[in-house]
Structure 1
Amino acid sequence: MRLMTMICCAALAVAGCSTVYRSSDVIPGSTDGTQVRVVPLTGETVIQANRAPYAPQSLPSAFSQSAGTGAGLAGRGVGVLPDAPSTQAGARNQQLVLNSPPPISPGAYRIGVGDVVMLATPSTGNTLEAISGLLAAQNSRSGYTVQDDGSINIPDVGRVRIAGLTIEDAEELLFQRLVEAQFDPTFSLEIAEFNSQRVAIGGAVGKPAVLPITLTPLYLSEALAAAGSVAAANIDVTSVRIYRDGQLYQIPLADFYSSPDLQNIRLVAGDSVFVDSDFDLNRAERFFEQQIRLKQTTLAARAQALSELNTAVSLRRNDNAERRANFEAREALGASDRDYVYLTGEVDKQTRYPLPYERQASLADALYDAGGGIARETGDVSQIYVLRASSDPREFGAVTAWHLNASSAANLTLATRFELRPDDVIFVAENPVTKWGRTLRQITPSLITTPVAAAVN
């Protein structure tokens, strides 16, 4: 009995000296000019709290820009076809020998640099339009040129390398990329312009030309007709020569006219056809040399253009990297204007949690990601509060305390849906046992010193 009396007296003595243990708590009502309104967190009140306007801060553009967004280089390095050597009529001084190229099957057309592909996506329309076929005429069509690195650049999707692929393979690859970018993959791929594969026609023809290889096979007779047909007076001294892969083939014009098989020789990309009317191999060789020089010049120009593109991409990449490094340095030094949420009370670490860029953060993010989670031994999981001051200047001092009772673990799902706002204060109250324990630890020294002081007196 005497001991209890001494404890009470010591407690009163400590309290009288204003040294008794005090801890923070959320007290509803008006306290020291602050009006506190406690709102329990439920599904409905979470929706209400999330209505507070807030736009997360955005990262600098250097974090989203791609270094490969330079201007297209399609068509760069394409030279002009030189004039074909002049032809002169001459006497046939030796036998023209038939040496036709072997049959060739190049397979399906493969997309190349310079080709223009078209992505046709169906637009909306009513049933009557679809039945009548009008919908096909209303398709949305977007053309893209295959650039020097073999890719096309689709907005919001990025660069897709399709050079060397058949149309079917390119459609499959584009389908996958559109699905990854969350776009409707309903489209058809067409080639609007065939610029990558060509055949040169020169010599004794009506109009020397360069003909494209398309989806439809190009035969020798069709190529000559497209170049204005053979313009030779004497077929006995005229031959059609084909330069292919370093080999020179010869077809006497008389044999060409008399043989459907020779007329239907299929031409492939890179072929050079020269109609010679005076049996002068040197003139034909000059024509082929011109074609070779043209291709070499084209390749050199394309290589230079690709080098320029790589240099521009490298400069952009370095500029973006420097911008990002500068921003990260400002972040580390605290020089950037960040939005923070503050954690206090019975948490593992009193800290502030920076709200992330470009997305909303939840109460669960701050509790479990900021290193300031609920203290397991001292925190009261039934008393978790988010303190939010009113943004209305007419309600200065008004605070809403959103109360989460996590004694039921199911209520923690509400924490994952509750969106935080700048300057929110997350407060975790201490449990009653911790409060009493801390009070007793503060009183215990008084229980020892009080009897001693009384004995001395």
Structure 2
Amino acid sequence: MTAETLIQANRSTYAPKTLPAVFSITAGNGQGVASRGPGALPDAPSSQDAGRHQQLTLKAPPAVDPGPYTIGIGDVVVLSTPATQNTVQELSGLLAAQNSRNGYTVQDDGSVNIPDVGRVRIAGMTVDAAEDLLFQRLVENQFDPTFSLEIAEFKSRRVSIGGAVGNPRIVPITLTPLYLDEALAAAGSVSVSDIDLGSVRIYREGRLYEIPLTDLYARADLQRTRLIAGDSVFVDTDYQLDRAESYFEQQIRLTQTRLSGRSQALDELTAQVQLRRADFVEGRDNFESRLSHGAVDQDYVYLTGEVVSQSRYPLPFEQRASLADALFDSANGVAKETGDVSEVYVLRASSDARELGAVTAWHLDYRSAANLTLATRFELRPNDIIFIAENPVTKWGRTIQQITPSLITTPIVAAAN
């Protein structure tokens, strides 16, 4: 066996048996449960002209710093990849002939489902951290990881604006901080006839804060009050606190409804994943049971001669086995006391049916470590026969065992005559 003959031996075509598809997929792949929601935002309570004047008290919310924006459920992220110079795309579902931008919605379990990659949980991560994780997953799946991550739609962190504004609405919080003056401007600005009678009330985490409009317009620091996710802002013009409280109650009920819908969707998704996982486990168990009973078509090579056990060595699924794999298998390898490592043969019958009886043999002497490297590169084929000759000492010992009985019995026969 030389490098040249090894190349010739490995040229024969061979495709290893593949495992059933159930061994290649996970319960997390596939379509997730769509996000649920309660529908459109309820109309804010109407604001009527004030009929009385009450003393307003400034009670501004404390300064907050929630830190950098983290991706949340409902956000839509975009993977942007550069243009390629050929039409062969390295990353299925992500690359196109020109610049590609594909959006993925963060599902209720906090993950996005990327074709050929699977579900990747990115909720609670900054854009940079999510980009690093996606980079790692693409590399693990042997895809070109050249891409950039952006947030196309901000839906997980929002502030509601209602009351005496031009256009009551929900304002999303993006990568840049959202301040009170910007939020009011996005809702069409304050719409009151007399700022002395108006105030901005902010409901945050169970507490109610109040900023009179006269103070708001007089102080730049109040205008730059930073808002955080979940804040409800209500512009009141008649000091009827019950009307503002009604608005905030609506926001609380709306939030609870959304959370309930998401919890239900997540439960459904978990149930689906468990059912899929159970199906996969059953399919794999069935395959392994069939394999143990010999009911699966599998390729083998056969070991004979001075081996630990005259047996057949199963070729692995989805990869190729080498001569070294079979020789050093603890259950089938060379018998240490009797096998001659200088006389290892691989016999392979011709694949041409017209050449019945035509056999090619390769001889390996792996007393030399250099020759042993050839065994690690020699690819086995179905129905190969590996033969190990007996070493000279064993051969002589067996000859003596056959001769010794005749030497003992010959004098006895002569004496009898």
Give yes or no for TM over 0.5: yes
**SS of alignment partner, residue 205 of structure 1:** coil
What does the per-residue CA deviation read over 1:94-128, in whole Å, with 9 as the maximum and x for residues that have no partner?
Answer: 212222222222221111111112222323369xx
What residue number does 2:151 align with? 191
What residue number does 2:81 align with? 121
Structure 1 unaligned runs (5+)?
1-40, 127-136
**SS of alignment partner, residue 124 of structure 2:** coil
What does the per-residue CA deviation read over 1:362-410, in whole Å, with 9 as the maximum and x for residues that have no partner?
Answer: 0010111152222223222221111100010111110011111223232
The alpha-carbon distance between structure 1 residues 125 and 349, as it changes in their structure 2 partners (threshold 3 A), is: closer
What residue number does 1:339 align with? 299
Among 354, 362, 383, the alignment partner of 2:322 is 362
What residue number does 1:226 align with? 186
What residue number does 1:397 align with? 357
Note the C-alpha offset of 1:180: 3.6
Q: Separation in 2 of the partners of 1:294 and 1:142? A: 31
Q: Separation in 1 of the partners of 2:378 and 2:72? A: 53
Give the stretch that moved more between structures: 107-116 or 222-231. 222-231
The alpha-carbon distance between structure 1 residues 78 and 143, as it changes in their structure 2 partners (threshold 3 A), is: farther
What residue number does 2:175 align with? 215
**SS of alignment partner, residue 320 of structure 2:** coil
Alignment of 1:15-30 (within 5 A): none
| 2:111 paired with 1:151 | yes
Alignment of 1:72-91 (within 5 A): 72-73=32-33, 75-77=35-37, 79-91=39-51
What residue number does 1:272 align with? 232
Q: Separation in 1 of the partners of 2:190 and 2:165? A: 5
What residue number does 2:385 align with? 425
Give the stretch that moved more between structures: 185-194 or 198-207. 185-194
- Tell me: higher relative CO, structure 1 or 2? Use CA pairs within 8 A at least 6 residues apart: 1
Q: Is the 8 A contact 1:77 1:305 kept in 2?
A: no
What does the per-residue CA deviation read over 1:161-216, in whole Å, with 9 as the maximum and x for residues that have no partner?
Answer: 22222222223333333344443333322111101000001112222100100112
Q: Separation in 2 of the partners of 1:173 and 1:356? A: 32
Give the stretch that moved more between structures: 426-435 or 331-340. 426-435
Give the stretch that moved more between structures: 259-268 or 348-357. 259-268
Among 25, 34, 44, the alignment partner of 2:4 is 44
What residue number does 1:94 align with? 54
The alpha-carbon distance between structure 1 residues 214 and 74, as it changes in their structure 2 partners (threshold 3 A), is: farther
Q: Is the 8 A contact 2:161 2:168 kept in 1?
A: yes
What does the per-residue CA deviation read over 1:222-279, in whole Å, with 9 as the maximum and x for residues that have no partner?
Answer: 2122212222223332221111111111122233233322222221111111112222
Q: Separation in 1 of the partners of 2:29 and 2:134? A: 19
What residue number does 1:61 align with? 21
Alignment size in residue pairs: 407
Q: Separation in 2 of the partners of 1:341 and 1:139? A: 50
Give the stretch that moved more between structures: 204-213 or 170-179. 170-179
Q: Separation in 2 of the partners of 1:104 and 1:66? A: 42
TM-score normalised per structure 2: 0.92
Among 358, 372, 394, the alignment partner of 1:412 is 372
Give the stretch that moved more between structures: 436-445 or 288-297. 436-445
The alpha-carbon distance between structure 1 residues 211 and 45, as it changes in their structure 2 partners (threshold 3 A), is: same
Q: Separation in 1 of the partners of 2:81 and 2:370? A: 47
Among 252, 261, 267, the alignment partner of 2:212 is 252
Alignment of 1:106-145 (within 5 A): 106-124=66-84, 139-145=99-105
What residue number does 1:261 align with? 221
| 2:291 paired with 1:326 | no
Percent same amino acid at aligned positions?
Answer: 70
Q: Is the 8 A contact 1:121 1:186 kept in 2?
A: yes
RMSD (CA atoms): 2.0
Structure 2 unaligned runs (5+)?
87-96
